[in-house]
Structure 1
Amino acid sequence: MNVFVPKVQAVAMFKEIALNIKNPSEVVREGISNCYDADAKNIWIIIKRDLSADLEIIIRDDGNGMRIDDIHSFFNLGDSKKVLQNIGEKGLGTKTFFKSKKIVINTKCCDESGYTATMENPWQNLLDGKVPQYKVYDRDDLENGTEIIISGYVVDNPEKYFNYYNLKDYILWFTAGGNYKNIFANYLILQNKVKDMNKSPKIHIKDEILDKQCQMTGVHQFTPPNENPREDVNNKKYKRSVNYCRAFGPFHKETTINGEYVSLQMYGTISGVNCRKKICKLKQSETYKSRFGLYLCKDFIPFEKANFLLGDEQYYHYHLLVNSQNFELTADRNSISNMDDIKVKWIFSQIQEIFRESIKPIAEKEYFSMRKEEEEAFDAECRIRAMNQYIKKIDLVDNLYINDIPIKKVPQSEYEVALLFAAILSNENTKILIEDIMNIISYSGRMTTDTICTDSDNKIALVEIEYKLSNIFKHKHPIETYDYVVCWKIDLEQNVINQVNNVKTILVSEGEEKYIVTEKNKKMKVIELSSILNKQYRR
């Protein structure tokens, strides 16, 4: 029997990991995670251009620094020296840096020698089928901590991702520099699971290209509660709810499954859009609906959205984060790798229970109730405004000047023609003007034929009502569904073929009366109200 050891194609693996990222900004996420694991008190993110005009990303900290073995682990594949509490455990994250023209590490541990490590053209070497090499030099002029310089990161439009505004937002939302463990710092049991629960390094961002910089505490941004908000004078519809914010939690759930400790930590808010605007900077084409909702977290760092757990179409009003150290992540830290684990299923069930019993009822009673009231008030305002505008508009419409009927204005729509038609039939002085129709039995704007009437022989007559006669063809009413057409005015030429539902028709005159005649000689009389009234009530 022969025994073989599988071979690993190192170049292919390095390339795959360097390419396996959703967002180029993940190189900053990996750098910040390393700084956290090094017990840094301060982290600097610097964006500039080098002498070759390539974008240069500098990640610097004042942490523990790197020994020579740590440097080798940085460049090696799957060779992590980190302990379980730390963020990085697989030794893969730093390989995303390889998609660049040059990597430089300057580092020094306390009371030990410093080092500079350089890797030239790592990405080009991988494209050429070669594992890139790195060199290490001794240094005695470095301060404690680590500086990583990534030059010429290979991405189209790098300034789109690596600029002051986008970096600040990304760091606060998707990196260890925006964790929310401070909310659960008093839970002693978590201090054995997550490193430095009560510590958050300061983050310093300096964009030398845009000449912008800031310093911020490395914690996730939540809108402060505001359950009795002031009105937003610029918002016509949601005047108060846009400034509403209610916090939920902190919730801590724990159990034991198959002898293993399992827990989750949940916290978040429901808030109006003004509140959401204040805590994020959307990318181009990104919406608040796509940004907000429920995020799953590990090490209290958001990595994946899971809005399906809420079962709520209005999920984007929520800003909820759920952490569990029982989540196992894929190599790129962008999704769960143990989704089918019984522990994860328990965590998901607890999330749904918390939302269903402790969050949604309050949100419905307060926030969504406020929005509904505002919607109703806005709808009423719109109706009043529309009515006032209509009253002003109707004043400009010509008068009928007919005392025998209570209609003052010339009709402007099909419904007003129907009203006028009914008014004419209801008065003995005007009823005689329409000889063929005696009474209206039924009217409905939703039926195929508008009105069911009786004719002079007391038989059923189907009457279609239109403002203009041409609408009978635009609306494609079947010829078989009406015997008469009542309109305000005739706007069709006589003896011109019109077609509806593959049936050809023409408008013809017989004396003073007009008819629509089909190719099969069916005749529908046209009653033009404007013509009838003008003859009887000439001014």
Structure 2
Amino acid sequence: MRICKPEVKEISLFREVAKNIVNPLEVIREGISNSHDADAKHISIVIYRNKSGKFVLEMQDDGKGMNFNNIQSFFNLGDSNKDNVGIGEKGLGTKIYFKSEKIILYTQVREGEAYKATMDKPWEALMSNMMPEYIVEKIKPSPGKIGTTICIEGYIIDNPEKYFNFDTVLDYILWFTAAGSFKTFFANYPELHKYVYNLQVAPRVFIDDKINCINEEIAGTHQFHPPQEKPKEDPYEVIYKKSVNYCRHFGPYHRATNINGEYVSFQLYGTVSGTNCRKKISKLRQGKSLKSRFGIYLAKDFIPITKATGLILEPNQHHFHLLLNSQSFELTADRNNITNFDDPKVKWVLEEAKKIINEDIVSLAEEGYFMLRKQEEIEHSLQDKRRSLYTRLAKFDKIAELGMDEIPILKSPDNEAQVALIFSALMANKISRKKIKHINKIGHYSYQSATDMVCVNQNNEKILVEVEYKLSNLFKHDHPYETFDCVVCWRVDLDVNEKKKMKDGNIMNLVYEDGEWLLKYGTKKMIPVIELSSIVDSLKNWK
């Protein structure tokens, strides 16, 4: 018997960690996490191209800096130098920096010790199945200046400005990094200070996009739109005039318990809000939507990690902006998902949070925001009906008079339904009925059926009748010739002997014989066409 140990292919592992990145902006997330864990109060993100035209991402902080051992841990895989379990606990994140042409690190600790570390062509080395090397040199410290600067040069990505520009970087920082945490909402809960570092502290973040010449300093806290429960109307909005500007906050909710002697807690905060409010706190990349961004997020260290499913029964959950934090969540190595959903602690968190969301938050949202939206939808529908009515009345005055006292219809038809109505009126009048051949009585009318009317002839035999405003419309609709025995139209707008192709490919020929219009399908079928306008004209002339 031999005892064996699994071997780790270090180069392959480094390469996979560097390559397995969901979003290129995770590079910034890792830099900010390291700065946060180093007690940084100010963090700068600088984007530019150097003199050689290489894209450079530079991250600076005023944290406690790194000594020589810290620098080694920074470049090593799975070697975290953090004493407390925190945001970068696994020591894997910074390895995504390796997908670049060069990494330069400048750092200085409070005692005045300063270093420069340079790793040249890390990705090229990994792709050549070689472990990249780095040089650490001691440099002259700058008086009173502590902290760390990391330069990532030539990050391997197509069109880096698409991801690394002011708007996308700002949005990502405030949504998915330690500089966009919502922990300050819970700073008044003393027990949480044992589990979350610097609960009351929010760093300042400076973004300098030198490529687009935009820079701004922001407070490093997650952005929620301010409360706005009595919103003003948006003059450009058609339906949701007020609700687009509505915003209601929920929380902070803090719940705690003990499971198997272990402290478990969760924190919940968020809003329900209209489109304008959600747009103001998110700068979405092209192709992304508010629906894909908003909803309920699970968070650890008060940083949103992944959208939650099953916590809310409301179908319009993208109107909510809710964040659920628990330090009991365990994360995947890339911090993009939760790994321990089956843990009793996590099950308790999710069940209790679900009760708050559906019994408290959703009910309040229904009474306020969603009721306002429903009222706006009803008002818009009523306005649409009013506008439609006014349009119809204006159009009515312009429709030509039918000019027949014998039937109770004032206007000439301008659509198929009106043709059916006039046809019924003509059939009901003893004088005009004599002008209509082939049909004795109307049996049934349906605009949803394959054929409009079922009628009977003088022999009480059922015949199928297609109704059209103009005869030419018959050939635009999907009516096989077998589905009708007669056509009733207001006007024949085709020429004698004109041939038309049906939708089914069959050719029909229009003829006029013995004072009657007929559609001929070879020798198989003769279909009478009753033109109502000529009947009306003949009755006028007869008078």
Residue 58 of structure 2 is aligned to residue 58 of structure 1: yes
Distance 1:19 1:258 in 2: 40
Give the match for residue 346 of structure 1: 348
Query: What are the residue-to-residue correspondences of 1:456-475 with 2, within 5 Å?
Result: 456-457=458-459, 460-475=462-477
For 1:388, what is the secondary structure of its paired residue?
A: helix
Q: More displaced, 399-408 or 287-296?
A: 399-408
- Counterpart of 1:236 (choices 235, 238, 243) is 238
Distance 2:159 2:526 in 1: 71
For 1:309, what is the secondary structure of its paired residue?
A: coil
Query: What are the residue-to-residue correspondences of 1:267-416 with 2, within 5 Å?
Result: 267-416=269-418
Q: More displaced, 156-165 or 499-508?
A: 499-508
Give the 3 Å change call, closer, same or farther, for CA 447–210 of structure 1 in structure 2: closer
For 2:357, what is the secondary structure of its paired residue?
A: helix
How far is 1:187 from its partner? Answer: 1.6
Amino acid at match of 1:302: P
Give the match for residue 429 of structure 2: 427
Give the 3 Å change call, closer, same or farther, for CA 215–448 of structure 1 in structure 2: same
How far is 1:114 from its partner? Answer: 1.6
Q: C-alpha deviations, 1:362-399, integer Å up to 9, x for none?
A: 22222122112211211222222233333334444433
Give the match for residue 256 of structure 1: 258
Amino acid at match of 1:374: E
Amino acid at match of 2:38: A
Q: C-alpha deviations, 1:28-61, integer Å up to 9, x for none?
A: 1101011110111111111122222212212111
Give the match for residue 88 of structure 1: 88
Percent identical across equivalent pairs? 47
Distance 1:67 1:12 in 2: 28
Preserved CA contact (<8 Å) 1:241 1:272: yes
Give the 3 Å change call, closer, same or farther, for CA 464–73 of structure 1 in structure 2: same
How far is 1:259 from its partner? Answer: 3.3
Distance 1:486 1:356 in 2: 58
Give the match for residue 440 of structure 1: 442
Paired residues in the alignment total: 539
Residue 515 of structure 2 is aligned to residue 512 of structure 1: yes
- Counterpart of 1:476 (choices 474, 478, 486) is 478
Give the match for residue 538 of structure 2: 535
Amino acid at match of 1:60: Q
Q: C-alpha deviations, 1:121-144, integer Å up to 9, x for none?
A: 111111222111112122332321
Give the 3 Å change call, closer, same or farther, for CA 519–351 of structure 1 in structure 2: farther
Distance 1:487 1:83 in 2: 88
Distance 2:503 2:125 in 1: 71
Distance 1:498 1:205 in 2: 67
Distance 1:164 1:504 in 2: 64
Gaps of 5+ in 1: none
**TM-score (norm. length: structure 1):** 0.94
How far is 1:325 from its partner? Answer: 1.0
For 2:286, what is the secondary structure of its paired residue?
A: coil
Q: More displaced, 119-128 or 251-260?
A: 251-260
Give the 3 Å change call, closer, same or farther, for CA 435–209 of structure 1 in structure 2: closer
Preserved CA contact (<8 Å) 1:307 1:315: no
Preserved CA contact (<8 Å) 1:101 1:123: yes
Give the match for residue 111 of structure 1: 111
Distance 1:382 1:512 in 2: 47
Give the match for residue 11 of structure 2: 11
Distance 1:311 1:16 in 2: 39
For 2:236, what is the secondary structure of its paired residue?
A: coil
Preserved CA contact (<8 Å) 2:480 2:502: no
Distance 1:497 1:141 in 2: 92
How far is 1:515 from its partner? Answer: 3.2
Preserved CA contact (<8 Å) 2:508 2:522: yes
Amino acid at match of 1:488: W
- Counterpart of 1:199 (choices 198, 201, 213) is 201
For 2:332, what is the secondary structure of its paired residue?
A: coil
Give the match for residue 34 of structure 1: 34
For 2:528, what is the secondary structure of its paired residue?
A: strand
Q: C-alpha deviations, 1:327-365, integer Å up to 9, x for none?
A: 111111111122333333333323322222112222222
Give the match for residue 149 of structure 2: 147
Q: C-alpha deviations, 1:446-468, integer Å up to 9, x for none?
A: 23332334444555444321112
Give the 3 Å change call, closer, same or farther, for CA 72–453 of structure 1 in structure 2: same
Distance 2:500 2:53 in 1: 73
Distance 1:476 1:463 in 2: 15
Distance 2:508 2:149 in 1: 85
Amino acid at match of 1:192: K
Distance 2:303 2:177 in 1: 6
Distance 1:501 1:24 in 2: 55
Q: More displaced, 89-98 or 521-530?
A: 521-530
How far is 1:227 from its partner? Answer: 1.1
**TM-score (norm. length: structure 2):** 0.93
Distance 2:357 2:497 in 1: 69
Q: More displaced, 512-521 or 135-144?
A: 512-521
State the superposition RMSD in angstroms: 2.3
